[in-house]
Amino acid sequence: MPMLAQEIIRIKRDGHALKRSHIDSFVTGLVDGSWSESQAAALAMAMFLNDMSRDETVALTQSMTHSGRVMDWSKANLRGPILDKHSSGGVGDKVSLMLAPLVAACGGVVPMISGRGLGHTGGTLDKLGSIPGYNATPDVATLHRALQAAGCAIIGQTADLAPADGRLYAIRDVTATVESVPLITASILSKKLAAGLQGLVMDVKVGNGAFADSLDMATTLAESLVQVAIGAGLPTRAWITDMNQVLGHSAGNALEVLEAVAFLKGATTEPRQLEVTRRLSAELLVMGGLAADDIEALPKIEHALQSGQGLEQFSRMVSALGGPADFADRPAHYLASAPVQLTIEAPRSGCVSGMATRGIGLLVVELGGGRRQASDPIDPRVGFSHFAQTGQPVQAGEPLCVVHAADRASAERAREALLTLIHIGDAPPVLSPVLVRRIT
């Protein structure tokens, strides 16, 4: 007989470790609805406040993995190792949109299970949701066809893939229980284990725009992800990467898709964004046996980018999943643009010395590009583009970025707020490397 939800909540509330039977009961309740939203939120908060042991985290990960279907690719006629990448979340982090097709162009198969935005960070699914017709929840036959045609498919959780995590993910987003290392670990890995992967690389962000604002926390998260994944039989590596400024030139759903396509065309290659994309892609080629080491992998990624093959794989993916066949040729034609675009000018001369990156992410949410509640609709048009980079000299009156808003009042509010979030100093700052630490 299942244990009462309130008794399991009480155990964790009082600081005790949960047994596997408790966790299985919780996960079953998430799936069959016998646990209410308030009960699930209460246990998530107890887990957040009282932490979870490694054994509890492994148990939660495995239980959520097996709460639904686990993908079996043996009969899908896929020619290549099954690989994936996941980011712990940042502002302007559009790396998945470029990495998946680049790895596919090099012979990998990337069935990437992505999520919606959480808190101040953007979600890959929300970005792709700005593409007309793009189906992020295809049936199995369509998914197989997309992987056969493009070598990659960025999709969301289907109803039968780690369904317990799907419900818990939405609850965490609106109950301030996002920044928990065990919950993040279990959430990410349950989806990845259910996807039947042969190799995974994690991008764990650190800095003022990341869930992990300190290197110690980022290291703890990266090590948790690697150790739990390997313990569950999934080869995994992690990179800790800097998130003390917006990654790339844009933040906002359609704007980031536009930048990703420009990246794959070679039209815009912001150096930090390029370095993260190259390094994580190379890790996957090595893990998948598609390259012996970085010395061999990095030129393959560069060739896939420069030859346009990465762009071709992206185009095939969009088309196979219901989007326009010529989307990559003219993305601006298909992506909705905001009716108000306001250039934000530097109030003084100097050098961009830093950004309050989390605040910028929250501004995107305020504009309508993120969610306050799980049921909130997303406005894909809004956000920021043309960001000046940290370390860049600016003159008074020169552009710091452009705000894209639904109306003039929203644009003006965002302008006033952003001027307090982008800092201008007299001297160039000491820049952090974007690749901070590798965890194996």
**The two structure tokens encoding residue 8:** 């399991």
* Cα–Cα nearest to 297, from 311, 306, 287, 307: 287
Residue 351: how many CA atoms within 13 Å on its side-chain side? 10
Is the pLDDT assigned to residue 117 strictly greater than 70? no
Asked if 130 and 139 touch (Cβ cutoff 8 Å), the reply is no
Instruction: Compute the average pLDDT of residues 148-160.
Output: 89
Secondary structure of residue 353 in the 3-state scheme: strand
Residue 245 buriedness (CB in 10 A; 0-12 / 13-18 / 19+): buried
pLDDT classification of 371: cutoffs 50, 70, 90? confident
Is the pLDDT assigned to residue 368 strictly greater than 90? no
Note the pTM of the prediction, 2 decimals: 0.88
First to last CA, the chain: 42
Is the pLDDT assigned to residue 374 strictly greater than 70? no
Asked if 152 and 103 touch (Cβ cutoff 8 Å), the reply is yes
Q: Which of 172-186, 392-406, 423-437 has the lowest mean pLDDT?
A: 172-186
Instruction: Compute the average pLDDT of residues 233-255.
Output: 95
Instruction: Compute the average pLDDT of residues 74-102.
Output: 93
Residues assigned a catalytic role:
84-87, 124, 172, 187, 191-192
Which residue type does 310 have? G
Distances (CA, A) of 21 to 54, 60, 67, 285: 16, 10, 14, 39
pLDDT classification of 1: cutoffs 50, 70, 90? low
Q: Work out the percent of the chain whose per-residue pLDDT is above 90.
A: 79
Q: State the pairing for strand pair 236-242/435-439.
A: antiparallel
Q: Work out the percent of the chain whose per-residue pLDDT is above 70.
A: 98
Residue 139 buriedness (CB in 10 A; 0-12 / 13-18 / 19+): exposed
* Cα–Cα nearest to 335, from 133, 153, 152: 133
Distances (CA, A) of 8 to 27, 35, 45, 47, 170: 12, 11, 13, 11, 21
